[in-house]
Amino acid sequence: MHGVSLTRVILHGFSDASKLAVSIAAYAVTTYIAAPVQQRLLVAKSRIAPKDQSIPRLELVAAHTLSRLMHHVKEVLKGERVEEYHCWVDSTTVLYWIKGQGTWSQFVRNRTKAIQDKEYLQWHHVPTADNPSDQGSRGMAPSKMGELWFRGPEWLRTQEEWPDQPEVTENSENRKERIKPKHEKQLLVKVKEETNETRDTLLSKYASYWKLLRVTVFLKRFIHNCRNHKKYKGPLMTEELHAAEKFWIIQGQATVSRADVGLKKDEEGILRCVGRVPHYHPVFLPRNSKQLASLIVQQVHEQMLHGGVSITMCRMREKYWIPKLRSLAKTVIHNCNVCKRYLKKPI
């Protein structure tokens, strides 16, 4: 490659896999001014195939390994006149994953993302008979390795003779790796939610559940005093705070309706979870209950002297049942300013 008459270099990489091994090989096609085009094996690599993987996955592993090898060769040959980088695989399934758009399993998604990040690589399909890496993946005695292994396919030097590319479409192997939507058990049925600007304003305005209850009591007092001759005055009563709490719980439960999953209304019209544990019927609160669930978790967290996630959840579940409570408790504790101040590590 270091001859003075070298005009261009094109790199071709091949990959293949079997249940035994994964094999890749890279070839350099060099063009000179006063000499014929030459092609030769530049570098090859093979490894034992991972266990308990399907053939399409192994082929993808081989393609991913090839992309990393080609990137390494590109870095090593920075000073050379390398113009193009071509990668060849004999699996249309792998080509569909690399070129297609879809939501795949994490195994496929991670490797295709790494391959697609190397935009300079051009991917093609090669027949198995013309794939030199097939010899490395299936195993062959050194004495039987011929020109295909050491020089690559003869058509490499002439682009007009390259194999015709098949139409790459989705097949059964691709569909096996497509992420299936999770059909979770339908616990609740959403109903049309009526907008209430006053309610939403109160929830977004106050960052304390205790203050929200007190403001609600004062509003209810004002409405009652405007409509009745008997006026409510003096300090707030426990009954008034319980009524305010009941009001907000019912408002939070307005986005769901009962289904056959053990939700029943008590005599106050509050939905409770009724399970196998006797005398344990916690109040049900949906996760999307207009910030109400977050305010209650924050209040309990402060009552427990800014305890951790487990102790906050334990106290919460004495009275409430909130889906995905752990993640909600983590979010609330993570945003707690007091905890941030005392848990901050020194610089």
Cα separations (Å) of 281 from 172, 251, 296? Answer: 48, 19, 18
| Chain-centroid distance, C-alpha 116 | 17
Closest listed residue to residue 239, CA positions, set 255, 266, 220: 220
Instruction: Print burial letters for 35-49: b (CB count within 10 Å at least 16), e (below 16).
Output: eeeebeebbbbbeeb
Of 176, 201, 228, which one is at a domain's C-terminal end?
176
**Model confidence pLDDT, tens digit, residues 320-338:** 999 899 999 999 999 999 9
CATH at 32: 3.30.420
pTM of the model: 0.52
CA 323 – CA 185 distance, rounded (Å):
13
Cα separations (Å) of 163 from 127, 148, 160, 166, 341? Answer: 8, 15, 9, 9, 65
pLDDT at 180: 67
Same-domain status, 196 and 127: no
Strands 263-265 and 320-321: unpaired
The total number of structural domains in the chain stands at 2
Same-domain status, 319 and 210: yes
Same-domain status, 172 and 56: yes
The residue ranking higher by pLDDT, 197 or 147, is: 147
pLDDT at 332: 92
pLDDT at 191: 42
**Model confidence pLDDT, tens digit, residues 72-127:** 999 888 888 888 899 999 888 888 888 876 677 888 888 888 898 888 889 999 99
Same-domain status, 197 and 160: no
CATH at 310: 1.10.340.70
Same-domain status, 148 and 194: no
Cα separations (Å) of 147 from 18, 39, 60, 152, 239? Answer: 22, 11, 26, 7, 92
Whether 185 shows a pLDDT value over 70: the answer reads no
pLDDT at 1: 46
Q: Give the chain's mean pLDDT.
A: 84
Same-domain status, 95 and 169: yes
Whether 178 shows a pLDDT value over 80: the answer reads no
Whether 285 shows a pLDDT value over 50: the answer reads yes
CA 227 – CA 221 distance, rounded (Å):
10
Contact of 75 with 36, CB cutoff 8 Å: no
Domain extent, residue 25, equals 6-176
Mean pLDDT is lowest, of 184-198, 221-235, 274-288, 320-334, for: 184-198
Same-domain status, 211 and 256: yes
Strands 38-48 and 82-89: unpaired
